[in-house]
Structure 1
Amino acid sequence: MLQPKLRFYLDENMDPEIAEQLRQRGIDVLAARDVDLLSVSDGVQLRYAVADGRVLCTKDAGFTDPTTWDLEHYGIVFFTDSSVSIGYAVNALQDLYRNETPENMKNSLRYM
């Protein structure tokens, strides 16, 4: 039986090229620009990810305080280096995709 796989949503703080490279590797990923969610609040970004069943990926430290969000989510991946390279982000998310399940990611905050 196939195990469910992670699906990612990259907020506007993440380079959309990361999404392009992940798609080329067969990973289900959307970027904020793909769904016309540029310049919207953090809450809107997170609610979109939740509604679409996706792990939110960000460099926005506003997402690192779990008491801020009063809803269950499919996981948040926070890149601590605001100048993270595209290659590093792609490899880190691909590793997470290969090694984690949606169940394990639920309501978790991962630092990369």
Structure 2
Amino acid sequence: MSTGTAESPFGIRFYCDEHVPSVVVDQLRGRGVDCLTVQQDGRGGLSDSDVLDRAGVLGRVVLTSDAGFARIAHERQRNGAPFAGVVKLNDPSAAVADLLVLAECYGPDDMADRIEYLPL
């Protein structure tokens, strides 16, 4: 299943957990951002840590509104354990514009081992 375009101007590909509203995923995809949900990946119900690991395998940044991911990511930062990055949506309804900026300005290397909180 194609979730983005090969010609996408966006450097980040998102791995959206079960807490990201589908309207946010749809709006991002409608603007050309590559988003894969855990459900589409057949991984619904995984623990937060397993989702973070899966995102790393796929080379995708976790997009979530679940505070648990931030705790796990902070722990990994403290322990020097790598991860592909986490974007925590504090208000999903207000974050699409910021997500577009983030996806356009950052690449995978910029987001490695990083946690961003949106909206900005």
**TM-score of the superposition, structure 2-length normalised?**
0.77
In the alignment of these two chains, the number of paired residues is 106
In structure 2, the gaps of 5 or more residues are: 1-8
Q: Hey, which bits of structure 1, 4+ residues long, moved more than 6 A?
A: none
Shift of 1:106: 0.8
Residue in 2 that maps onto 1:78: 88
Match of 2:65 among 59, 62, 70: 59
Pick which of 5-14 and 27-36 moved more. 27-36
- Aligned counterparts of 1:75 and 1:8: Cα–Cα separation in 2: 10
Give the secondary structure class of the aligned counterpart of 1:49: helix
Q: What's the % identity of the aligned pairs?
A: 33
Output the aligned Cα RMSD: 2.0
Match of 1:12 among 3, 15, 18: 18
Shift of 1:48: 1.2
- In structure 2, the CA distance between the partners of 1:34 and 1:89, relative to structure 1 (3 Å rule), is farther
In structure 1, the gaps of 5 or more residues are: none
| 2:39 equivalent to 1:39 | no
**TM-score of the superposition, structure 1-length normalised?**
0.82
